[in-house]
Amino acid sequence: MNQKSAKLKRPVTVEMDYLISLPKDYEKQEKWPLILFLHGAGERGDDLELVKVHGPPKLVEQGKAFPFIVVSPQCPKGRWWHAMELSALLDEIEEKYKVDADRIYVTGLSMGGFGTWDLAMYAPKRFAAIAPICGGGDRQFGKALKDIPVWVFHGAKDRAVPVERSVEMVEAIKSNGGDAKLTIYPDAQHDSWTETYDNPELYQWFLKHQRINNETE
C-alpha cells in the first residue's frame, strides 16, 4: 500500500468557566504571583458555586486575602482535567492580567491532584512550584519534573487514592536529583486537603520559589 505524508493544522477551541480573585492591592503592583487551583471530581459541572467548596476559592469566599491572583477553573461533568486546555487558560490569564510569569504555582486535590501532576509534566518549564494533594502521576516523568520544587500531601488512610501514588512520584523525582517533599497525615483519609489549604506554610512555601530556567530544551 502507498503512504504519503500529511500535516494537521487546525485550531482547537477551548471553553472553560472559572473563578478569579485578584489581590487587594492589585493596581499598586506591576505583576503578581498566580495560583491555579484544580478541584476534585465532586465539583465538576456548570455551577461555579461548586468550586467554592474546597481549597483557595473556599478561603477567598470566607474573606481570606491572598497575595496571589487565584484562578479556579471548573471541569465539565463527566470529564477530566486536560493539560492542553489548562495551559490555554493560563495563556488567557497572562494576556489579561498582571501575572508574574516566573511565579506561577499549581495545586489541586484528588482529580485535581492528578491534574496538577499532568499539567506539570505537560509544561514543566512553566511553573515555579506545584503542590499536588492526594493525586498521582506517571513516575516515568520523574526526570522531567526534577527542576520543579514539589510539595506533595496525602492521607495515610486514603482508600480512594492510595498514598503510594504520591510516594512513588516523590521517589521518582528524588531519584533524578529533584526537589520533592512529602507530607503524610497519619490519621487522614481522602480529605488531606482541608488541613493543607488551611496551613499558611503552603503559601509561604510557594512564594519562596520562582521559575529559574526559562530556556526550552
Each residue's pLDDT tens digit, 88-129: 999 999 999 999 999 999 999 999 999 999 999 999 999 999
The alpha carbon dihedral of 82, 88, 91, 97 has a sign of: negative
pTM reported for the whole predicted model: 0.94
Mapping DSSP to helix (H, G, I), strand (E, B) and coil, where does residue 215 land? coil
CB of 54 closer than 8 Å to CB of 39: yes
Each residue's pLDDT tens digit, 42-98: 999 999 999 999 999 999 999 999 999 999 999 999 999 999 999 999 999 999 999
Grid cell digits, residue 13 = 477551541
Facing residues of 20 across strands?
71
User: How much is the pLDDT for 216?
Assistant: 41
What average pLDDT is seen over the chain?
95
Neighbours of 42 (CB within 10 A): 12
